[in-house]
């Protein structure tokens, strides 16, 4: 076991005294396809603005939004007389509402086309997406008065640094431009919608890429043990992940009512996490929501290094085997670092958190 840049508990399965140095982060990333059943209410940018505009670009997915919350809060404080426009996929609107301080969501499904703002309409452009030519070009086309990004051709700012946590990365970016941002300022507002399963043990069975998909049988073993211990277990995931949830429920002998996968909007999903007793998840948006609400969680890591994407200090345990990590995010097969984690490891970790 070794704690690196963060004070999180990382249990390195099979190499418990080994190093956990993560690989480099990519300087430009692509948004994943929206999964029906996990989308929420739509948001749209206004046609015109009565105040100067700050545009912050991060056209990615749920976990990417949640690690950028400290930076968005820093921008809100730094530009109180501006409209803060967040360029991101429209399906994230329900969670953007829980961040607070964002005036408009500019629907931006990715970087394949220009941003839906007229050149000259943005006073400040902020690159929270990465540091590649696609994101820089999209913002440069707006002809803003001020650019906030990492150092590149035509851009001043701090040099991109590999191997640091994503919350730290984007707070550090703002700090390099003289804007205060606190990486620990990541908590979300609690949704006003009620939880569909207050006090439940949430087992999030899904993950967008196969590299992060822990085997169904192992999830079932954990779910069955939690049920035997008296927990009310619910299974979450997107609509496309509902078959995985159904397979887990069948193997764990859980009732059909335990399957919430595909039945929740994003704020409803956030409400279930916010009011949960515990969360078990791979490195997905569910794990980031557990961090945002300080819900005890066990997070299973495969291709991504937890030093860059893991939970903050708090009631969270990371399970992985860094020595076996291939780091192939887009692989259809589970990463060996993830497969090294056994159900007994998860139950032991939950026990260490005092919830099993």
For 64-116, the pLDDT digits (tens) are: 999 999 999 999 999 999 999 999 999 999 999 999 999 999 999 999 999 99
In terms of C-beta distances under 8 Å and separation of at least 24 residues, what long-range contacts does 292-299 make, across chains too? 292/66, 292/69, 292/186, 292/187, 292/188, 293/187, 293/188, 293/190, 294/187, 296/350, 296/353, 296/354, 296/355, 298/346, 298/349, 298/350, 298/353
The single residue listed with the structure tokens 């903050």 is: 312
Q: Do domains 9-17+190-352 and 53-176 have the same CATH topology?
A: yes
Q: What is the pLDDT of residue 8?
A: 57
Q: Where are the alpha helices (DSSP H) in the chain?
A: 62-67, 69-78, 93-99, 133-140, 166-176, 216-228, 242-252, 266-274, 285-292, 306-309, 336-339, 343-352
Q: What is the pLDDT of residue 9?
A: 75
Q: What is the pLDDT of residue 43?
A: 41
Residues 234 and 200: beta-carbon distance below 8 Å: yes
| In the chain, where the domains are located | 9-17+190-352, 53-176
pTM (two decimals): 0.89
Write out pLDDT tens, residues 163-201: 999 999 999 999 999 999 999 999 999 999 999 999 999
Backbone angles phi, psi at 188, to 5 degrees: -105, 160
Write out pLDDT tens, residues 244-274: 999 999 999 999 999 999 999 999 999 999 9
Q: How confident is the model at residue 17 (pLDDT cuts 50, 70, 90)?
A: very low
Q: What is the CATH number of domain 9-17+190-352?
A: 3.40.50.2000
Write out pLDDT tens, residues 138-171: 999 999 999 999 999 999 999 999 999 999 999 9
Strand partners, 280: 203, 298
Q: How many CA atoms lie within 13 A of 124 on its CB side?
A: 22
The domain 53-176 is placed in CATH, from the list 3.30.470.30, 3.40.50.2020, 3.40.50.2000, 3.30.1330.90, at 3.40.50.2000
pLDDT for 23 beyond 80: no
**Beta carbons within 8 Å of 77's beta carbon, 6+ residues apart:** 180
**What DSSP assignment string belongs to 63-99?**
HHHHHTHHHHHHHHHH-TTSEEEEEE-GGGHHHHHHH
Q: How confident is the model at residue 7 (pLDDT cuts 50, 70, 90)?
A: very low
Strand partners, 84: 54
What is the average pLDDT value for the chain, to the nearest integer? 90
CA distance 262 to 36: 8
Q: What is the pLDDT of residue 16?
A: 34
**What DSSP assignment string belongs to 232-269?**
-EEEE--STTHHHHHHHHHHHT--GGGB-TTS--HHHH
User: Percent of the chain beyond pLDDT 70?
Assistant: 88
* Interstrand relation of 53-57 and 83-88 (parallel, antiparallel or unpaired): parallel
Q: What is the pLDDT of residue 6?
A: 35
For the segment 31-52, the average pLDDT, to the nearest whole number, is: 48
pLDDT for 38 beyond 50: no
User: Percent of the chain beyond pLDDT 90?
Assistant: 86
For the segment 284-307, the average pLDDT, to the nearest whole number, is: 98
Q: With residue 125 as reference, give the H or E element that holds it.
A: strand 124-127
Q: What is the pLDDT of residue 29?
A: 58
* Interstrand relation of 83-88 and 146-148 (parallel, antiparallel or unpaired): unpaired
Q: How confident is the model at residue 14 (pLDDT cuts 50, 70, 90)?
A: low
Backbone angles phi, psi at 212, to 5 degrees: -110, 5
Backbone angles phi, psi at 282, to 5 degrees: -70, 180
Neighbours of 143 (CB within 10 A): 12
Q: What is the pLDDT of residue 58?
A: 98
pLDDT for 26 beyond 70: no
Residue burial 296-309, b: 16+ Cβ < 10 Å; e: rest? bbbbbbbbbbbbbb
For the segment 339-352, the average pLDDT, to the nearest whole number, is: 98
């Amino acid at each position: 076991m070794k704690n690196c840049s963060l004070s999180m508990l990382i249990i390195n399965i099979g190499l418990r005294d080994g190093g956990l140095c993560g690989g480099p982060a990519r300087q430009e990333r692509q948004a994943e396809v929206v999964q029906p059943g996990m989308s929420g209410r739509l948001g749209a940018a206004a046609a015109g603005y009565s105040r100067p505009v700050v545009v912050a670009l991060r056209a990615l997915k749920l976990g990417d939004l949640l690690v950028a919350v400290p930076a968005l809060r820093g921008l809100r404080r730094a530009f109180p007389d501006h409209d803060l426009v967040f360029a991101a996929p429209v399906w994230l609107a329900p969670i953007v509402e829980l961040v607070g301080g964002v005036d408009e969501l500019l629907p931006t499904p990715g970087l394949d086309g220009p941003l839906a703002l007229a050149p000259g309409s943005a006073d400040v452009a902020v690159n929270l997406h990465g540091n590649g030519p696609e994101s820089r070009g999209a913002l440069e086309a707006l002809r803003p008065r001020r650019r906030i990004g990492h150092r590149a051709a035509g851009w001043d700012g701090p040099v991109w640094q590999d191997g640091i946590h994503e919350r730290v990365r984007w707070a550090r970016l703002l700090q390099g431009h003289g804007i205060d941002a606190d990486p620990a300022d990541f908590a979300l507002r609690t949704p006003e919608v009620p939880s569909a399963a207050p006090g439940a043990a949430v087992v999030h069975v899904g993950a967008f890429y196969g590299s992060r998909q822990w085997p169904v049988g192992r999830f079932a073993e954990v779910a069955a043990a939690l049920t035997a211990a008296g927990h009310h277990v619910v299974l979450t995931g997107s609509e496309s992940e509902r078959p995985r949830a159904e397979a887990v429920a069948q193997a764990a002998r859980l009732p059909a009512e335990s399957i919430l996968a595909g039945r929740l909007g994003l704020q409803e999903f956030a409400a279930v996490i916010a009011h949960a007793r515990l969360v078990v998840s791979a490195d997905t948006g569910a794990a980031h929501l557990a961090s945002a609400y300080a819900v005890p969680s066990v997070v299973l890591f495969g291709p991504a290094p937890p030093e860059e994407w893991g939970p903050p200090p708090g009631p969270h345990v990371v399970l992985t085997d860094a020595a076996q990590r291939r780091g192939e995010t887009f692989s259809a097969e589970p990463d060996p670092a993830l497969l090294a984690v056994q159900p007994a490891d998860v139950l032991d970790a939950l026990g260490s958190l005092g919830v099993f």
